[in-house]
Amino acid sequence: MKKTAFVTGGASGIGAATCRILSKTGYRVYVADIQRESGQILAQELEDAVFLEVNVRNESDFEKGLAQVITESNQLDVMVNNAAIVGTLGPISSLTVEQYDLSQEIIQRSVVLGTKHAAKIMQTQKLGSIVNVASIAGLLGGYSPHTYAACKAAVIQFTKSVALELAEDNVRVNAVCPGAIATPIHTGTTGPEWRQTIKKVKESCADFQAIPRMGEPSEIAEAVVWLASEKSSYVTGQALAVDGGATAGKIWREQPEFFKSFHPVRS
Ligand SMILES: NC(=O)c1ccc[n+]([C@@H]2O[C@H](COP(=O)([O-])OP(=O)(O)OC[C@H]3O[C@@H](n4cnc5c(N)ncnc54)[C@H](O)[C@@H]3O)[C@@H](O)[C@H]2O)c1
C-alpha cells in the first residue's frame, strides 16, 4: 500500500518543497493549506496528491482533513506540522492580547492540534512519524520577534514531551529547526519588498554563519523527509537544527586580535 503524508502549509516554501520530495519518494501527499490556488496547482503538478483547504486555527479542519485521508487512503504514515506565520512584531510594551493569541494559534496551537489528531490515528495503527517545523528562533534569542520565539520554543518542548508518550505505540515525533531560508514568510509576499528583505537576510547570514548563505526550502525538506521516513527509525524527541551552522556559534569574519590564535580563521 502507498504511504500517505499530510503536510500543513504545503502550498508554499518549505511545505511545498517537502510535498515535492515526499511525492518523488513515493508517498501520496495531502497538501493542506489556506492558499487554495497555489495548493491546487502544486497538487496537480505532483504524481499523486490532493489539496485540502485547511486553516490550522480550526480543530474541525484537522478532523475533516484527516478523516478524508483515512477514507481515501486507509492510513496516515506521516504528519508534517509546518504551517506558520511570523506573527506579531514590535516591542513587548505594544503587544496586544489579540495579536498574541492570533499568532500563537497559528504558530504553536496548530502544531498541538495537528499532533493530537494525527496521534489518534497513528496510535491505533501502531505506526507513524510526526515532524514539527520549529525554528532556531526557538533555540536561541535574537532570531525573531518575541511571540514567534516563544511559540517555536514551545513547539520544541511539546515535540519532546509528546515523543515520550507516543513511543510505546511506535509513533515517533521530532522537530526540525530551520535557520534563515529563502521563502515568502519573511514578508508574506514575493514582490520587490521580499527581494529587498531576502538580500538583507543573505548579507547577515554571510556575516555570522559558518555556511555563509541563506538556505533553500529543499534543504529543510530533505531533513523533514528523513525524519518522516524509516531511515530515522531510532530518532525521536529531537530538535534538529538545519541552519548553516548558525546555532553552532558565531563566526568572526573580521576577527578581533585576541581570537586569532584559537578561532578558525578564514583567510
Ligand atoms: N523561512 C525561514 O527562514 C524559516 C526559518 C525558521 C522556521 N521556518 C518555519 O518553516 C515553516 C514554513 O515556513 P516557510 O518559510 O516555508 O513560509 P511560507 O510562508 O512560504 O509557508 C507557510 C505556509 O503556511 C501557510 N499558512 C499560514 N497560515 C495558515 C493557516 N492559518 N492555515 C493553514 N496554512 C497556513 C501559508 O499559506 C503558507 O503556504 C514555518 O513553520 C516557519 O515558521 C521558516
CA of 39 to the centre of ligand 1 (A): 13
DSSP string, the chain: ---EEEEETTTSHHHHHHHHHHHHTT-EEEEEES-HHHHHHHHHHSSSEEEEE--TT-HHHHHHHHHHHHHHHS---EEEE--------S-GGG--HHHHHHHHIIIIIHHHHHHHHHHHHHHHHT-EEEEEE--GGGTSTTSS-HHHHHHHHHHHHHHHHHHHHHGGGTEEEEEEEE-SB-SGGGTTS-SHHHHHHHHHHHHHHHHH-SS-SPBPHHHHHHHHHHHHSGGGTT--S-EEEESTTGGG----SS--GGGTTTS----
Q: Which residues have a Cβ under 8 Å from the Cβ of 35 and sit 6 or more positions away?
A: 11, 12
Percent of the chain whose predicted confidence (pLDDT) is above 90: 83
Average pLDDT, the chain: 94
pLDDT given for residue 265 in this prediction: 54
Nearest alpha carbon to residue 185 among 5, 6, 17 = 17
CA of 185 to the centre of ligand 1 (A): 6
pLDDT given for residue 114 in this prediction: 99
Q: What is the pLDDT of residues 233-264, one digit of tens each?
A: 999 999 999 999 999 998 877 777 776 666 66
The catalytic site residues sit at 148
Q: What is the mean pLDDT of residues 52-77?
A: 98
Q: What is the mean pLDDT of residues 39-45?
A: 98
Pocket test for ligand 1, best of 14, 58, 227 (most atoms within 8 A of CB): 14
For the whole model, what pTM was predicted? Answer: 0.96
Q: Enumerate residues lining ligand 1, CB below 6 A.
A: 8-9, 11-15, 33-35, 54-57, 82-85, 106, 133, 135, 178, 180-181, 183-185, 217
pLDDT band at 31 (very low <50, low <70, confident <90, very high): very high
Regarding predicted confidence, which is higher, 58 or 266? Answer: 58
CA of 86 to the centre of ligand 1 (A): 8
Q: What is the pLDDT of residues 90-104, one digit of tens each?
A: 999 999 999 999 999
Q: What is the pLDDT of residues 182-228, one digit of tens each?
A: 999 988 777 888 888 888 888 888 888 999 999 999 999 999 999 99
Q: What is the mean pLDDT of residues 27-52?
A: 98
pLDDT given for residue 264 in this prediction: 61
CA of 34 to the centre of ligand 1 (A): 11
pLDDT given for residue 266 in this prediction: 56
Pocket test for ligand 1, best of 7, 8, 12 (most atoms within 8 A of CB): 12
Instruction: Write the residue with the smallest CA distance to atom 20 of ligand 1.
Output: 13
Residue 124 has pLDDT above 60, yes or no: yes
pLDDT given for residue 260 in this prediction: 67
